[in-house]
Amino acid sequence: MPDFAARRTMMVDTQVRPSDVTKFPIIDAMLAVPRERFTPDRLIEAAYMGNNIDIAPDRVLLEPRTLAKMLDALEVTDSDLVLDVACGTGYSSAVLARMAQGVVAVEEDEALAADAEAALAAIGSDSVVLHRGPLAEGATDYAPYDVIIVQGAAEHFPDTLAGQLAEGGRMACVFMDGALGVVRIGIKRGGQVAWRDAFNASAPVLPGFAKAKAFSL
């Protein structure tokens, strides 16, 4: 029987802490949430490896380092309402649920949403609301959000989603330019979001987050 608790500790000690992520709420959450519960059975041996895990076409469970550094940059607090876009199987939402006041998890893939619902219930993450719908549309019923985090990449960030961020709120998303990717952190001031580059990472571009193709004759 695999010792997943030991692998979880090793993940934090070899992937998270060496990436300069040392905030206690992040470390505590990533040590507590059983990542293997959110990994497809066929890939469970890869649950704690340092790479993205494919969970559906163009969808991944982000590598632990990327998620941890995004959470670190976002400075999530226990008074925040967080929108977790493209939650997939729900791992990121489970981690966030231990850090924030509440989490709204958005998923448009019905199979992934069902997996997330089951896994979150199994570990007792009762502060997560699962919203089924297009990723790029977010979840307007619960807006505005203090934090928005995207579990995948964008070429273009949807205005509808940015509009759901509260004044002074923070966002994080991987932006891809061809094969090159960077995580950017956005802060909303005066109704406008200003982005800054944070660190390199990569992920598949999500549905609704691609650039419109230019028309040519």
Q: What is the per-residue pLDDT for 2?
A: 80
Residue segments in the chain with a per-residue pLDDT below the cut of 70: 1, 214-217
Q: What is the per-residue pLDDT for 214?
A: 56
Per-residue pLDDT of 119-153, as tens digits, reads: 999 999 989 999 999 999 999 999 999 999 999 99
CATH number of 4-200: 3.40.50.150
Annotated domain spans of the chain: 4-200
Q: Which are the contacts of 51, defined by CB distance < 8 A and separation ≥ 6?
A: 63
Q: What is the per-residue pLDDT for 180?
A: 92
Q: What is the per-residue pLDDT for 133?
A: 97
Sheet hosting strand 102-107, strand order edge to edge: 128-132, 102-107, 81-85, 145-154, 165-177, 180-189, 192-200
